[in-house]
Chains A and B, each alone.
Chain A
Amino acid sequence: MRIDCNAFLGAYPWRKVPGTSPEALTRALDRTEIDVAWITHLPSLFWRDPTEGNAWLYETARAQKRFKPVPTVHPGLAQWEQVLADAANAGAPAVRCDPLYLGLEPAGGDMRVLAAACGTARVPLMLAVRLEDGRQRHPNDRVAELPAAALRALVRSDADVRLIVTHADRALIEEVHFGSTPEEARRIWWDICWLWGPPEDHLATLLETIGVERFVFGTGQPLRLPETSVAKLDLLELSPDQRRAIESGNVKHIASA
């Protein structure tokens, strides 16, 4: 089984991206033999109230069993606790909050309160380091990338919070992982979509130094080709158990904990 924990639906504001509809995503899942996709409503990440995309997200996920909703929470808006409660009640495998897109301090008071609430609700908090390569972004797309220090601060801020971090590169992962206690590091999972394969072998190195159990399968589609994450795994020398852990086992463990 292969679960993509990092997928989006809906248009991207900064450039034309094909394949953003539910039907197109389903075709992409078929093409790349992905069984399940955790989905977030992409346009609303850029709205003043990103939670306004959640209703559509839930409805879309109900209509397609291969989709699991990852709704967005904005801890700076009133009633955000209800958004988190709704997510927990709906069986969402995680909630997403990308603080810099919302104009929030990435490890400020709002984010720490959200981290604690996610810990209490036993709902993992998902954050993206970036959505696109910084060298190619639209001139008006000036949101900073999520810094490693913020991730270290968030995981330290609450003993129960669990983080799923997407679009992270090797340097950031190493800085956060080895800048955390073993107990803290065990509450962070990293998706593989931004990690380089051979000949630099960043993913292979991290699997060796940090451990297979910390990595989950994610693609960032449709902003990125989902074939990339599959190709990364195909280029590794993994045992069937290791591959299963990355493709589905680790993420199932997060969702069931």
Chain B
Amino acid sequence: MLIDVHAHFYHQRTPRADWRERNESRLTAGRKIGITVHVASILGSFGLTSPTYFPSPRDVTAGNDALLALQRAHPETIRGYVCVNPNYTAQARAEIVRCLDAGMIGIKLAASRRADDPLLDPIAVLALERRVPVLQHIWQHRRHDWPGQEASDAVELCTLARRHPDVAFILAHIGGGGDWLHSLRAVRDVSNVYVDLSGSGVDGGMLEACLESVGVSRLLWGSDITMDTGWAKLRYLETLLAKDEIAAIRWKNAARIFPPGAFPSD
């Protein structure tokens, strides 16, 4: 079994005219790679009517609805994170309840608010109540603000994780750009932060550093928007690790932090 903990799909209310092709390409590549389940999110309208990382409540709902439709269309292979904007606390909490009740299995936070902000606490409390993980978008070692996102880095995520030690937080795309070594130093001793291996980065030494920092038990396999790099990292890890260690990264760690029954043979 192979669980992709960091996938995205598009829908018609995004700037992507090729949204159907991209969705189909992900599913086709997933079959070649052997992905059992794509755990995906849709970040609102991806910029069409509100910014990707600051989605409006209306776009959040539309994106989540589109993902629920995809989940219904592909019940064996697609699961959803409910994407919310923590600046709209009441709407975010209501949206989480609505989408988890409809079958989603996690919460996705883009970069609408820094990860250590108190506004994320009500979301973390709900994550604990519902026993779902929180996937937090991270710019590894953000040194300053960038246009378009209030990016958080690992230090800020760890601050939140320490406030909510019983919630599983997923540090997004360690290979997604930025100083991954800085993140790996930060998360080492925060046992409820898991590292998602996705991202276009395939730096020599990065996977060794991941293993050294958090060990096999806190690594999750994912692809994000470059499935070739995800597959390459998996192939390389298969040359480094024992079979049971690979199984942990492929799916067993994910099965541990997502709700029971989230995956087929779980």
Q: Which residues of A contact B (CB under 8 A)?
A: 15-19, 31, 132-133, 135-136, 196-201, 221-225, 227-228, 230-232, 234-235
> B204 contacts A224, CB within 8 Å?
yes
Q: Of A201, A224, A227, A231, which is in contact with the most chain B CB atoms at under 10 Å from its CB?
A: A231
How close is A1's CB to chain B, nearest CB, in angstroms? 20
> A228 contacts B228, CB within 8 Å?
yes
Q: Of A17, A31, A200, A222, which is in contact with the most chain B CB atoms at under 10 Å from its CB?
A: A200
**A31-B239, A198-B227, A199-B22 known; A224-B202 Cβ under 8 A:** yes
- 18 A-B pairs within 8 Å (CB atoms) are namely A135-B177, A136-B203, A196-B226, A197-B226, A198-B28, A199-B26, A201-B21, A201-B25, A223-B203, A223-B204, A225-B207, A225-B233, A227-B236, A228-B202, A231-B229, A234-B231, A235-B33, A235-B231
For this complex, into which size category does the number of interface residues on chain B fall? 35 or more
> B204 contacts A136, CB within 8 Å?
no
**Chain B residue, CB-CB nearest to A202:** B226
Q: Which residues of B contact A (CB under 8 A)?
A: 21-23, 25-26, 28-29, 32-33, 139-140, 177-181, 200-205, 207-208, 225-229, 231-233, 235-236, 239
How far is A231 from B235 in the complex, measured between Cα atoms in Å? 9
How far is A18 from B239 in the complex, measured between Cα atoms in Å? 15
> B204 contacts A221, CB within 8 Å?
yes
Q: Which of B201, B202, B227 contacts A199 (CB 8 A)?
A: B227
**Chain B residue, CB-CB nearest to A192:** B228
Q: Which of A196, A231, A235 contacts B200 (CB 8 A)?
A: A196
**A18-B205, A136-B179, A199-B22 known; A227-B29 Cβ under 8 A:** no
**A133-B177, A136-B140, A136-B179 known; A198-B235 Cβ under 8 A:** no
**A19-B204, A225-B204, A225-B233 known; A200-B181 Cβ under 8 A:** no
> B225 contacts A199, CB within 8 Å?
yes
